[in-house]
Amino acid sequence: MSGNTYVKVLPKHGYVELEAFAGGDLSVVNSARVSFSKRSVGYTLSDSKLLRFLMRERHGTPFEHNHMRFRCRTPIFVFWDWKRHRIASYNVESARYVQMRPDYYIPEFARGQVGKPGDYKFVQLPDFQTKWLQSSLDEFCRDGISRYHYAVNIGIAKEQARLFLPMNFFVEFIFSVNARSLMNFLSLRNDSNAIYEIQEYAKALEGLWGRVMPDTAKAFIENGRVAP
Amino acid sequence: MSGNTYVKVLPKHGYVELEAFAGGDLSVVNSARVSFSKRSVGYTLSDSKLLRFLMRERHGTPFEHNHMRFRCRTPIFVFWDWKRHRIASYNVESARYVQMRPDYYIPEFARGQVGKPGDYKFVQLPDFQTKWLQSSLDEFCRDGISRYHYAVNIGIAKEQARLFLPMNFFVEFIFSVNARSLMNFLSLRNDSNAIYEIQEYAKALEGLWGRVMPDTAKAFIENGRVAP
Amino acid sequence: MSGNTYVKVLPKHGYVELEAFAGGDLSVVNSARVSFSKRSVGYTLSDSKLLRFLMRERHGTPFEHNHMRFRCRTPIFVFWDWKRHRIASYNVESARYVQMRPDYYIPEFARGQVGKPGDYKFVQLPDFQTKWLQSSLDEFCRDGISRYHYAVNIGIAKEQARLFLPMNFFVEFIFSVNARSLMNFLSLRNDSNAIYEIQEYAKALEGLWGRVMPDTAKAFIENGRVAP
Amino acid sequence: MSGNTYVKVLPKHGYVELEAFAGGDLSVVNSARVSFSKRSVGYTLSDSKLLRFLMRERHGTPFEHNHMRFRCRTPIFVFWDWKRHRIASYNVESARYVQMRPDYYIPEFARGQVGKPGDYKFVQLPDFQTKWLQSSLDEFCRDGISRYHYAVNIGIAKEQARLFLPMNFFVEFIFSVNARSLMNFLSLRNDSNAIYEIQEYAKALEGLWGRVMPDTAKAFIENGRVAP
């Protein structure tokens, strides 16, 4: 990995960091080539063609022999959706064991929902709604924090006290995944139908992944962002 | 399935319902016996012995050829832990698509946390803490609901408005699982180290499962509740 | 399940049998509808439309809340490919524990392979090759069987003796799967690029599945046999 | 990775090679510590204690945030068992696409099977059986190879011709796995109940893994080789 592996996401506390990586574009084609008992040593033009063939024909397994480990910090509601992805490994900050940091997320804009289930569009709402949402949510969270601290102070278990912390509080977690599963994640979450905030994280993941598997990421885009 | 397949859990809104089932104790031993090209037609004493052998020696695969589909309603924080279990299928009520019902969970007792990480004990706290927790949480949730409704009324998308609903609100979901994965769930969640509320759900699941796979459930208990 | 649940596949010893089933078309739409806290009791035209929407938009999870358990008997080389499918449960006859039955598969036609990797076509070869293949394979298998029996007779462990039984011998196994994973299997194996013999099994599976989830099977075909 | 990452296994053609690795002992404890929002930079004695606690109490997820990619060559019957392990990634040499190398495995000793299902012991048999097994298997394989070549020469597809190659022929594959899944593999396959040949491969895997995650491997052994 060269260059910066840390990307800030959302205002203030959110981020994604690529902590470890193995594999790469070459691992994809060499895993496919084991079918023919062959192996490349450098990544050539014919490797690039093979990789596009695998992507297009949805031969998915060669894209599994690699590994990315990310450390992330997201609002709770973002991780709520994120961990629906089962072909991945997770460890997450526990509100049972640690006192939560008083860090929460305030959206930059209120948005409205138009259309019907399965075909929603989200539009930015005028200043009135945005201002109200921001101040009301801030007020609600501050109130929650003070109730949280009071609860902890009178000896209530953290696992009960945390009920005062809404789902826009930040949580930290480790996320390990291979490129095949990550492409499935990106096809669903770096997509205009996904919740705005998880889209922002998906973009960050996609950018970091593109640095370590550049030709795979390019072929994924060329293929219409359909996971193999 | 005979008898009632619906169990209330926690005060008011929580429940677990067994909606569908396939397999049974006989499917366990017949799946194991395919190794020997044999098959039983009725469940006999020698089947019961074989099942105990499989459980004890941790031959897990024969316990996978069955299926339970549950409909559940739990506080959000319970499902937060629940869906960490990846060898299962889930569909969940979406706070993006529907307006959430104003149903939330108030604990019957405040509890304190003694000991250290990995070895916590939870003890019931006196009336003072319990009363405070109940009334403060109730107040906080009512405040959240009225902000939630106001947000929806001024056109804010439900996915943003829901940030006013804390993690003790109820959510409904479908959970499909096989007995092997369920035993792993039960060994961790119907356990005194688990959060009290998820223990209650795990007990309900265990009871319903025990009606459809009675000898497997019995052998699981005899085996010290270690999943094969 | 109504009607026959047993289908013969390939000459002589092969078959697929649907032993157990849970779920159905209705379980698909009701699992999706939990997002909206709704539930159907009978399967209507609007359910059928919703199911097609889920299939087309690749909302895959609602197709997981069902279960098929098949008992199958296939040549070893067919199961070799079959068990590459990881989202399924398997138990298989063990050549370690039982003496294998002297049942093997002789292809009805020799086939030639034209084209190049990733784009092969298979063509039926003339009588000469077919006759030679059949008699040579028969001879080879008979020789293998007599060596196998001799090995067992002089006390050699079955796990070593089986090395005399080539991959066209039949093996029996239990296969449990849900419709989402089965559709992925069918899209790859009931496909002209797959090995002829596994295509035959995939057709049998697809036929049996179509009896218990008819509208899902229909929508799968209409959708170009792309798994959601 | 320092030192040799290639280990020969079985006579002649078998091997295991560790091609890529990410993670390490430190990734285990840092993944666990995210629960407490903490992170170590060097691996200390308290890390070692935490790792043993996680192993003993079967907190398995922190052992998933790492990656080993192995290239292996084994007899077909070894991979037959190997790929039953579903929490791993595989790509394998295809007897459809390439002409198989004429490399096969001859056991160094014939073995006998004493005891009953679930409790077999395997004993080395006298010279007579060993000599017979070796020469009979060699003869059978040579016969198979010449039929295989003849079949290919008269234009029969490789996928049919391979039926003349018994399950002691060697096959090459890529195997990617994390430590949690690998420990499960090792607990079952580096065990006296497993087939001798897969035990030999499991030992080689365990040795290579122990070089990159030494304290995890040590704790696994101290814990009686029970996977967390």
Q: Using H for helix, E for strand and C for coil, what is the string for chain A?
A: CCCCCEEECCCCCCEEEEEEEECCHHHHHHHHHHHHCCCCCCCCHHHHHHHHHHHHCCCCHHHHCCEEEEEEEEEHHHHHHHCCCCCCEEEECCCCCCCCCCCECCCCCCEEEECCCCCCEEEECCHHHHHHHHHHHHHHHHHHHHHHHHHHHCCCCHHHHHHHCCCCEEEEEEEEECHHHHHHHHHHHCCCCCCHHHHHHHHHHHHHHHHHCHHHHHHHHHCCCCCC
Residue among B168, D31, B159, B89 at smallest CA distance from A77 = B159
pLDDT tens readout for residues C113-137: 888 766 788 999 999 999 999 999 9
Domain boundary among B164, B179, B206: B164
**B67 SS3 class:** strand
Give DSSP secondary structure letters for D15-39: EEEEEEEE--HHHHHHHHHGGGT--
> What Å distances lie between residue A122 and A111, A115, A190, C133, CA to CA?
6, 9, 15, 64
Which chain C residues touch D110 with a CB distance below 8 Å?
156-157, 160
Contacts of A146 by beta carbon, 8 Å cutoff, 6+ apart: none
Q: What is the pLDDT of residue B3?
A: 62
Q: Nearest Cβ partner of A118 from C53, C117, C118? A: C53
Chain B touched by A154 (CB under 8 Å): yes
pLDDT category of residue C3 using cuts at 50, 70 and 90? low
More reliable by pLDDT, A122 or C198 = C198
Q: What does residue B122 show for φ and ψ, rounded to 5 degrees?
A: -115, 130
Q: Which of B167, B176, B189, B195 to mutate to test the interface with A (most CBs of A within 10 A)?
A: B167
Q: Which of A46, A58, A80, A189 to mutate to test the interface with C (most CBs of C within 10 A)?
A: A58
Q: Clarify whether residues C52 and C143 are in a common domain.
A: no
| Residues C210-225, mean pLDDT to the nearest whole number | 97
CB contact under 8 A, B117 and D36: yes
CB contact under 8 A, A117 and C36: yes
Q: What is the pLDDT of residue D121?
A: 86
Q: Clarify whether residues C88 and C173 are in a common domain.
A: yes
pLDDT tens readout for residues A142-177: 999 999 999 999 999 999 999 999 999 999 999 999
Chain A touched by C224 (CB under 8 Å): no
Q: Clarify whether residues B198 and B212 are in a common domain.
A: yes
Q: What is the pLDDT of residue C47?
A: 95
CA distance A176 to A72: 11
Q: Share the mean pLDDT of chain B.
A: 94
Q: What is the pLDDT of residue B4?
A: 82
pLDDT category of residue A121 using cuts at 50, 70 and 90? confident
On whether residue C132 sits in a domain, the answer given is: yes
Question: Is pLDDT at A42 greater than 80 in this prediction?
Answer: yes
CB contact under 8 A, C91 and B174: no
Q: Clarify whether residues D160 and D62 are in a common domain.
A: no
Please give the share of chain A, as a percent, with pLDDT higher than 70: 98
Q: Clarify whether residues A86 and A178 are in a common domain.
A: yes
Q: Nearest Cβ partner of D98 from A36, A101, A172? A: A36
Question: Is pLDDT at C2 greater than 60 in this prediction?
Answer: no
CB contact under 8 A, D117 and B36: yes
Q: Clarify whether residues C42 and C68 are in a common domain.
A: yes
Q: Which of A163, A175, A177, A195 to mutate to test the interface with B (most CBs of B within 10 A)?
A: A163
CA distance A6 to C45: 50
pLDDT tens readout for residues B120-130: 889 999 999 99
Q: What is the pLDDT of residue D119?
A: 77
On whether residue D228 sits in a domain, the answer given is: no
Contacts of C103 by beta carbon, 8 Å cutoff, 6+ apart: C12, C13, C169, C170
Domain boundary among B148, B164, B180: B164
Q: Clarify whether residues D146 and D174 are in a common domain.
A: no
Q: Clarify whether residues C14 and C76 are in a common domain.
A: yes
Q: Clarify whether residues C43 and C85 are in a common domain.
A: yes
On whether residue A228 sits in a domain, the answer given is: no
On whether residue C215 sits in a domain, the answer given is: yes
On whether residue C104 sits in a domain, the answer given is: no
B33 min Cα distance to partner chain C (Å): 8
Q: What is the pLDDT of residue D210?
A: 97
Domain boundary among D126, D141, D164: D164
On whether residue C227 sits in a domain, the answer given is: no
Q: Share the mean pLDDT of chain C.
A: 94
**Each residue's pLDDT tens digit in chain D (228 positions)?**
556 899 999 998 999 999 999 999 999 999 999 977 777 788 999 999 999 999 999 999 999 999 999 999 999 999 999 999 999 999 999 998 889 999 999 999 999 988 876 678 899 999 999 999 999 999 999 999 999 999 999 999 999 999 999 999 999 999 999 999 999 999 999 999 899 999 999 999 999 999 999 999 999 999 999 999
Question: Is pLDDT at C202 greater than 80 in this prediction?
Answer: yes
On whether residue D105 sits in a domain, the answer given is: no
Q: Share the mean pLDDT of chain A.
A: 94
Q: How many domains does chain D have?
A: 2
Q: Clarify whether residues B190 and B209 are in a common domain.
A: yes
Cβ–Cβ under 8 Å, residues B32 and B40? no
Which chain C residues touch A35 with a CB distance below 8 Å?
117
pLDDT category of residue B42 using cuts at 50, 70 and 90? confident
Q: Clarify whether residues C11 and C89 are in a common domain.
A: yes
Question: Is pLDDT at B2 greater than 70 in this prediction?
Answer: no
Chain A touched by C36 (CB under 8 Å): yes
Q: What is the pLDDT of residue A115?
A: 84
Q: Where residue C44 sits, what CATH number does that domain have? A: 3.30.1360.170
CB contact under 8 A, A156 and B84: no
Please give the share of chain B, as a percent, with pLDDT higher than 90: 86
Q: Clarify whether residues C32 and C136 are in a common domain.
A: no
Subunits adjacent to chain B (3 or more Cβ pairs under 8 Å): A, C, D
CB contact under 8 A, D89 and A21: no
Tokens of C29: 């739409």
Cβ–Cβ under 8 Å, residues C66 and C178? yes
pLDDT tens readout for residues C143-192: 999 999 999 999 999 999 999 999 999 999 999 999 999 999 999 999 99
Chain C touched by B83 (CB under 8 Å): no
Chain C touched by B30 (CB under 8 Å): yes
CA distance B185 to B178: 11
On whether residue A73 sits in a domain, the answer given is: yes
Question: Is pLDDT at B69 greater than 90 in this prediction?
Answer: yes
Q: What is the pLDDT of residue D3?
A: 62
C213 min Cα distance to partner chain D (Å): 27
Q: What is the pLDDT of residue C41?
A: 82
Q: Nearest Cβ partner of B32 from C31, C91, C98? A: C91
Q: Which residue segment(s) compose the domain that A60 sits in?
A: 6-95+168-222
* ipTM entry: 0.94
> What Å distances lie between residue B40 and B45, B219, C173, CA to CA?
11, 19, 15
- Residue in chain D closest to A87 (alpha carbons) equals D87
Chain C touched by B74 (CB under 8 Å): no
In chain A, residues 111-130 whose CB comes closer than 8 Å to chain C? 117-118
